[in-house]
Structure 1
Amino acid sequence: MMSSKYFAYPTTYEGERAVLYYTGGLIYYHVGGSMAWRNNNPGNCYSGNSSARFNEIGQNGSFAIFPTYSDGYNCMEYVIFNNYG
């Protein structure tokens, strides 16, 4: 489980859709691009039990925001193989 020092939320940056990330002292944005990219969530996994297993640090609507692309990818893989065989 990620520390509470890690969080993210949807926002705008210079008029563009963005996600602000705070990762233990470092603040950065994912600006523009697809929602999946901004959220580090290539499978557009919903926020919930599955995403919590993979370090979800925020929500963008009903979708999870992950601290890294790898976390989002691992959640997608888990959902596919455990829900769809």
Structure 2
Amino acid sequence: MTKFMDVHHGMQGITKDQLTSAHRADLAIEREEGVHFERAWADPKSGTVYCLSEAPSADAVKRIHERAGHPVDEVHQVPLEIS
């Protein structure tokens, strides 16, 4: 599967609890699209949220986020990774 980093804008003031709740909403339905959300990060000041996932396509990532109630603004394929 391919890794994707998606970006949400306009979430100023997001709290850790809100981020956790949004992430759990994604996890609850991710298998329906063959997606696995690995991690999420947020910058409450700028209102930017980042999510790392493995998925069959960017469209699958978009569909899960839309269904979970927080549509994504950008989805970027991550073709190269080091650890």
| TM-score, with length taken from structure 2 | 0.36
| TM-score, with length taken from structure 1 | 0.35
